[in-house]
A and B are shown apart, each in its own frame.
Chain A
Amino acid sequence: MLHLKAHAAILKAYLKIMLTYRGMMILHLFRVVLMPLVIAAAWLSIEKADGNPYENSDYLLYYLLVPLVMNLTNSRSVFRFPVSVRDGTLSRELIKPYPPLMNIVIESFTNNLQMLLYLVPFTLISVFLFQSHFDFSFLSYKMVPISILAIFFGALTRLLISGSIALTGFWLEDVTTLNLLLNGSIWALLGGMIIPVATFPEKIRQIAELLPYRYMLSFPIEIFSGRLTTLAIYKGFAVMFFWIIIFSFTARFIWKRGIKIYSAYGG
């Protein structure tokens, strides 16, 4: 409670900074939108296998929502934190009576928030332009709050995984490869970026449902699309909470050891 004012002040500060660099935000929009659009186009142009539960309209809705959810659950901490260890700028956070990693988390959150300024109009215009191609019969307003909740916890899961990887920056000079491996490639494959998880072969889908990646992207979209039973939603949240607990402890464990070897060079 004590830090609420500080969180708000830092959030405002980052918003002000980001509004200074508008060009960069437009580039980010292209980055976030382009890849799902290309994949969607690929899925729409190929013939679907027998037993694939997704029609063209499902793919269209899925990949229209991918940039939105991907952005909302994104965490940039993995890029910022190792740099702050290397150049010693972490020191300036450690010296304040404020959670030292919160600054990076808020910066990442502000980024995601600001991207909505571009992504929401983009999504709404797309829905308006291609409305005849969508099948809205599965959608239910009841699922909206549950999807939002899933996005929130999905973002928390991703933050904790990215954070744990970022914290290895106390030992590793460059965590990019580790992040690419654990949080990039596997996430794109098993999280539902390249192929919607619901269309995976049965056994792979079962594995994907047990891993954390699905919950950072595919799960909220599946809920919103009305594709999951109540039981499947409960099961999904349970798996997500399990990973949140695991990575909370992991991040804490790495932090406690890492901070003791932090050498505070530079800064």
Chain B
Amino acid sequence: MKISTPNCDNCVFTEELGRDFNIRQKSQGLAASIKNFIRPSYKLVEAVRSLSMRIGFGEIVGFLGPNGAGKTTTLKMLSGLLFPSRGKLEVLGHSPFSREREFLSQISLVMGQKQNLWWDLPPIETFEIHRSIYNLDEKDFRGRIEELIDMLEISDCLETQTRKLSLGQRMRCELAVSLLHRPKVLFLDEPTIGLDILMQKKIRKFLLDYHARFKPTILLTSHYMDDVAALAKRVIVINNGLKIYDGLLSDLTEKMQPEKIITVILNSETFPKIEIPNVNIVSQESNLFRLKAPRENVGKLAAALYNTGLTIDLTIEDTPLEDIIGNLFTEKSNFQQFRTNV
């Protein structure tokens, strides 16, 4: 599996990477169960069909895609949990599935809140075990612990049994333990799932601060588009195990949503006549109007609205990323158009 010429410029390198699963099929009913018992039937599912990508050192890349697109499978292959069915794969110059100590010492995978923490022990005990496993120097370890406790604000939950911590506390402790050995590559699979908005923001801020200080390569999957928008400039969009976009998030939103949303409050319930093409009123509630306008016309529109002398307040927003990505995968026509665009 190891590639003969190491990709020194790339932290992560994959070429036509794929992974299949043989899933046992079982229809409903007793007769089907008997039939299945005599002759089991399997279905080959191509979770990742062919994925080629290069990720540089210190980049933060967001993996986007609907459920079952192959995001988590990709992360599992990159971290060495899954053996690829085909293709080439290299992370930090290593073949992940070989599980060499040098490789495992430089990566971390966060999947939910039970990945690293010992359920029956307080987090501080897990940190100690982690130190022994990663053979960390006592002085370094103390320094890093203090730093992470401070950054993640977890000093109050270190001596409570993990199972008795709240979801947010567990997640922050999980992050702390995952970062204790200061990994060069961090795989984050839904790091804020189930957390409230405040906690999501805290985690995002922490990750940004951490990245600014230590520059690890971060690969992130999240259903919360705010996570992706806050952390990753570059995104890779996959669907049905195929890469359909790899580039800047801002380019993706521009391509997918050439319009902006303008919310304006007027001192009149009648919208003034403005001669700017392709401006549509999406909704009206009394004197609050929501408009859609092409990006290139937004400036002119805002100026025209202020010039009427009727404007009390005006805000300009992008369409929420959730909606853009949601639309991309919910309607086939959108997806086709998107593929044509990119």
Contacts and interface: CB of A to CB of B under 8 A. Distances in A.
Nearest to A2: B135
A94 interface: yes
B104 A6 contact: no
B283 to A, nearest CB: 43
B132 A8 contact: yes
A10 B120 CA distance: 13
B132 A92 contact: no
21 contacts: A2-B135, A5-B135, A6-B129, A9-B128, A9-B133, A10-B132, A13-B125, A17-B118, A91-B115, A92-B115, A95-B81, A95-B109, A96-B104, A97-B104, A97-B105, A260-B83, A261-B83, A262-B82, A263-B21, A263-B82, A267-B114
A9 B111 contact: no
Given A94-B81, A263-B21, A16 B115 contact: no
Interface of A: 2, 5-6, 8-10, 13, 16-17, 20, 89, 91-92, 94-98, 259-264, 267
Interface of A is mostly: helix
A91 B121 CA distance: 19
Contact of A95 (B21, B79, B120, B131): B79
Given A6-B129, A94-B81, A17 B121 contact: yes
Contacts of B112: 267
A98 B133 CA distance: 6
A109 B118 CA distance: 18
A20 to B, nearest CB: 7
Q: 6 tightest CB-CB pairs across the interface, nearest first?
A: A9-B132, A97-B104, A6-B132, A260-B83, A97-B101, A5-B132
A262 B84 CA distance: 11
Contacts of B76: 91, 264
A259 B132 contact: no
A5 B137 CA distance: 12
A92 B116 contact: yes
A16 B131 CA distance: 18
Q: What is the interface residue range for chain B against chain A? A: 20 to 34
A266 to B, nearest CB: 9
Contacts of A96: 104, 133
B75 to A, nearest CB: 10
Interface in B93-135: 99, 101, 104-105, 107-109, 111-112, 114-116, 118, 120-121, 125, 128-129, 131-135
Contacts of A17: 118, 120-121
Which of A10, A91, A97, A259 counts the most chain B CB atoms within 10 A? A97
A25 to B, nearest CB: 14
A10 B81 contact: no
Given A96-B133, A97-B134, 19 more contacts: A5-B132, A6-B129, A6-B132, A10-B132, A20-B120, A89-B114, A91-B81, A91-B111, A91-B115, A92-B116, A94-B80, A95-B80, A95-B104, A97-B133, A262-B82, A263-B82, A264-B76, A264-B81, A267-B112
Interface of B: 21, 76, 79-83, 99, 101, 104-105, 107-109, 111-112, 114-116, 118, 120-121, 125, 128-129, 131-135
A107 to B, nearest CB: 11
Nearest to B115: A92
Contacts, number: 69
A98 B100 CA distance: 10
Contacts of B114: 89, 92, 267
Contacts of A89: 114
Contacts of B104: 95-97
Contacts of A16: 121, 125
B135 A267 contact: no
B121 A13 contact: yes
A6 B81 contact: no
Contacts of A6: 129, 132-133, 135
Contacts of A97: 101, 104-105, 133-134
A261 B22 CA distance: 9
A50 to B, nearest CB: 51
A170 to B, nearest CB: 12
Contacts of B132: 5-6, 8-10
Nearest to B21: A263
Contact of B99 (A94, A263, A267): A94
A262 B81 contact: yes
Given A5-B135, A91-B111, A94-B99, A264 B82 contact: yes
Contacts of A2: 101, 135
Contacts of A95: 79-81, 104, 107-109, 115
A9 B105 contact: no
A97 B132 CA distance: 11
A21 to B, nearest CB: 9
Contacts of A261: 83
A123 to B, nearest CB: 30
A261 B85 CA distance: 10
A1 to B, nearest CB: 11
B96 to A, nearest CB: 10
